[in-house]
Chain A
Amino acid sequence: MSNPDFSIPQRQSPKGILLFFGLTFKKIVKTIWPVFVLIILKSSSLNNQKQAVFYAIIALFFIILIVNAILSYLNYYFYIKNEELVVEKGYLKKIKISIPLDRIQTINTHQNFIQQLLHVVALEIDTAGTSQQELKFHALTKEVAEALQLKLSVFSSHRSVVSNDTENSYISDKKTILQISTTDLIKVGISENHLKSLLLIYLFVNGIYQQLHDFFKTALDTASEQAGGFLEKSGMLFITFLAIFFLGMLIVFSVLLVILQYFDLNFSRQDGAFVLKSGLLNKKDIVIPYSKIQLISWETNPIRKWMNFVSVYITQASNSQVKKKQAIIIPGCSNLHLQNILSEIFPDTDTSEWTKHNSHPMYFIRLWIFRIFIISIPLLIFMYSYWQTYIAILVWIFVSAFLSYLSYQKRYFKINPQILHTAKGTIEQEFSLFFNYKIQTIQFKQNFFQRRRKLASIAIFISGGKRIRIPYIQEELAGELYNYLLYCTESGHKKWM
């Protein structure tokens, strides 16, 4: 493999022309597709002369797009100069973006279906903080992308970690921490939160329905009338069958979604960074330098507990906006895997010896009252028309008491001189670990009722858009925690990223 020299300006892979073309085409079609539909529908009724003009316009449109793609490609340069990654692009409007290398947060590569066909990869570069600059290369050859990724990640991690390593130390050990097989993924899919898939299906179907509605209005109406009549006739049995069928579909859908997303997942460790590779149609390749990691959390629920695995989430420093797609999720970790991941980052991961601080029972009361009201008030509308509403509210009062008790019991925090450990959840339970000094902002909150009982809540903000709440603890304890976390943050000289 020849090592590309990034100090001289270079272009992306020539195949990028195709991608530039495709991207602009997609963008334009997305905005003006109704015009296209109209033109195509109208074109048959035009006379020959007008039709010729029409085809000429379309041809011109394509020529402009092709020329634009070629010019965009030819005018797109990138290079590294003075410890900055510089990108020059544009031919009508020239744009020059330079990003200091030590500002680079994450370097991710991925491949969508077309990029897989063309054997190129996309490389995304995300920067810290407020400048909100983001860079995306659409078509790099695999060698260039890997070399660039390595170069940038090594640079940025060297900066933030102690820099006594020698230059060539990164050509070193790569160790796979976990590799998930498809059978494991099926298990993960079954244990997913199916409400999420329900929402996805709903949005998907609703979107399609809205689009088709105008075209097939009459056809749909008759069909739904028939379906309605059919439903009435066959009654409860059919509805039960439908519900079971739907639940089955949900699970299948969840499993498929999980397999698509996490196919062939490989999580490894390589010179001070985690590397996550996964995906079937959209391949992802994410590098997470240890210094960028802000928090590691893991989630379990009764099904996962029974199957003996957890899902691990890694929060890393990023722009102030939380990007869902950037959340790093490693599903299907056994406890051993979890320990391996945690011990890589934290010096001390056995929290069983630490003092456990629970929330005050008032927290249970607050949750309970809140849950009763949030459900009951909308239900009050039906109170006049249906007497069953009273029973529903009564049942809910008991159910919410049970749920609130679970939430209250599962919420606690533990702390040692370096690490804060928190837990929360209702049916599921989420645990997290992070270094005390990685806080960004901290709040000490006390409402009127808390003040009377000498209680307080703490809210901690960390980078990556994560907020940690420690509600309803003793005022004195909250004060100590508040002061101690600030002390850790302000006294150390450790970088938070």
Chain B
Amino acid sequence: MLFENNIIDIKQIPTQENLVFDSLKPAYKTILIINWTVFFIISALLPLTIEPLFEIHLLSWWLIIYYTIVLSSYICMLTVTQRGFPLKGYALREHDIVYKTGLIYRKNTTIPFNRIQHIEIRQSMIARMLGISKLKIFTAGGQGSGLFIHGLSPETAQQLKDFLSKTANQYE
């Protein structure tokens, strides 16, 4: 029991538990995999550049350990991305928007419509090629309080933005 003596019945409050989430476009998973792959390639090439640049001879067993770590963490990240992707999603409710994420570290972020400050649509170069956008929703809560919704089709992003801006303006 959260607290006693409340006027409204706490069980009547809308909950998040049985919420149905819209999933994100699979193209976003491709972007995540591309990101990890780029990171992996850079890490794999790193030792090759150290030898000629700094004239340090790396012992072979160091390299073996290094590559084992890099490769296994790459595989690990790919698995997490693959398994975690279906868990990402967003949901619109009557009064707020929810974004959830996470396989190992689960996180639900909610922004009430009447706290939205402004909304942006962003699209990176790769995202443009794959035909997806992301939406950023800002509140006055400062660093970390914003909400990114990744992997939306440009039309959905625009529709969402229009809907949210319109709704948020009603509270002005």
Residues of A that sit less than 8 Å from B by CB: 128-130, 317, 320-322, 354-355, 414-417, 439-448, 451, 461-467, 477, 479-484, 486-487, 489-490, 496-497
Contacts and interface: CB of A to CB of B under 8 A. Distances in A.
B139 A442 contact: no
Interface stretch (B9-17, B54-62, B65-73, B158-166): B9-17
The 6 closest A-B pairs by CB, nearest first: A461-B141, A440-B141, A461-B145, A465-B142, A490-B95, A440-B139
B108 A444 contact: yes
Interface in B139-161: 139-147
Contacts of A477: 2
Interface in B1-51: 1-4, 6-8, 10, 13-17
Interface in B81-128: 95-96, 102, 104-115, 117-118
A441 B2 contact: no
A486 B115 CA distance: 11
B142 A484 contact: no
B72 to A, nearest CB: 18
A317 B107 contact: no
Given A446-B106, A477-B2, A489-B114, A461 B16 contact: no
B109 A487 contact: no
Interface residues of A, dominant DSSP: mixed
A199 to B, nearest CB: 22
Interface residues of B, number: 40
Contacts of B10: 480, 484
Contact of B141 (A417, A462, A482, A490): A462
A447 B140 contact: no
A461 B105 contact: no
20 contacts: A128-B140, A129-B117, A355-B2, A414-B3, A439-B115, A440-B111, A440-B140, A441-B111, A445-B106, A445-B108, A446-B102, A447-B104, A461-B141, A463-B142, A466-B142, A467-B142, A479-B15, A482-B108, A484-B2, A487-B14
Contacts, number: 126
A130 B115 CA distance: 13
Contacts of A489: 112, 114-115
A120 to B, nearest CB: 33
Nearest to A322: B142
B14 A483 contact: yes
B106 A451 contact: yes
Given A320-B143, A479-B17, A487-B13, A130 B138 contact: yes
A443 B118 contact: no
Nearest to B11: A480
A445 B7 contact: no
A416 B115 contact: no
A441 B108 contact: no
A276 to B, nearest CB: 22
A463 B110 CA distance: 15
